[in-house]
Amino acid sequence: MGRRNNTNVSDFILVGLTDSEEIRVVLFNLFLLIYLITVLGNAGMIVIIRLDLQLHTPMYFFLSHLSFIDLSYSTVIAPNTLENLLTSNKHIPYGSCFTQMYFFIFFVAIESFLLSSMAYDRCVAISKPLQYPVIMSADLCCSFVIASYVGGFIDSTVTVVGMSTLHFCNSNVIHHFFCDTSPILALSCTDTSNVEIIIFILAGSTLVASLIIVSVSYVPILSTILKIKSTAGKRKAFSTCASHLVGVTIFYASMIFTYLKPSKSYSLGKDQVASVFYTIVIPMLNPLIYSLRNKEVKNAFIRVMQKRGNNILECKVSVYGVFPATDSFVFQDVIFDN
């Protein structure tokens, strides 16, 4: 953001989704409900996974981080969007705009890497179940997560540094509901070709590479499922894969549609619809797709509630006993069970 002194813009104006007062009220209530579900769903998943020892497996280790990322990048966008829908003040300071952009890119890039890590985990669990405890060790799982955060840091830092070199001298009106790269590139009065190339390379390498890993991982998964003799087993396995693939497809399709194209092809209506999916809807859907329909999670929730209830009745609640410590994963059957 070091080039801010070279621009006449001190703040931006977020146009938002609509000018209609009636539609804004409807969208506010809808987005508020979605955000509350997002917070409760993802925060609840993190707590349940942390408290229940039986969920201390690689799959739920990745899932807890995915829930944290979904909660984080939804919080980066949703509160500001709700404020803009409810009030007439649509101004956002220059620094706040670029900060929002930075953390949004940071968390979305991490989610892309986590999804590919989870796909690999599913691939090993289903195609090589006997070797799964050895392959998906605690060290490897932690390495995947750390690499995801490092990748997100690199993507967001390079992108925002490149964006901060742009000049904004003619208009400060962003035709979007949050500070995203495409509408800001379209707003710049200087040549954006170099920045577009940087964004295209970063977004392309992140999204396409992780999507390829997900796709390749599902080849042995589907092959193994087809070999299952039980019709009920096939139906259950296909149902699980279908739910997972729906979430992955929506996420990658909306991200690729938005970012892997030149800024001159930016379309307000189409890009906003895609943006609503991956900024507001996807973080709400992920707990439902990956966890809340899973019997292991439901049983873990019941166990946690019973344990807390017993502790309250016995007056033996201990601050040090809330978070059980474990130095290793508990390996067990990790196939989704609907």
At residue 328, the pLDDT reads 44
Smallest CA-to-CA distance from 52 within 306, 336, 227, 317 is with: 306
Question: Tokens 């490897």 belong to which residue?
Answer: 140
User: Of 280, 39, 42, 255, whose CA–CA distance to 177 is shortest?
Assistant: 280
How many Å apart are CA 21 and CA 23, to the nearest integer? 6
Residue 72 has pLDDT above 50, yes or no: yes
| Average predicted confidence (pLDDT) for the chain | 79
Q: Which residue would you say has higher pLDDT here, 331 or 129?
A: 129
List, for residues 278-320, the tens digit of each pLDDT value.
Answer: 888 888 888 877 665 566 666 766 777 777 655 554 544 444 4
Indicate the pTM of the whole model: 0.82
Q: Where are the alpha helices (DSSP H) in 288-324?
A: 295-314
Quick one: what percent of the chain has pLDDT higher than 90? 26
Query: What tens digit of pLDDT does each residue of 215-237 get?
Result: 888 888 888 778 877 777 677 66
Under the banding of pLDDT at 50, 70 and 90, the label for residue 207 is confident
How many other C-beta atoms are found inside a 10 Å radius of the C-beta of residue 141? 19
pLDDT tier for residue 8 given thresholds of 50, 70 and 90:
low
- All domains in the chain, ordered by first residue: 7-321 (1.20.1070.10)
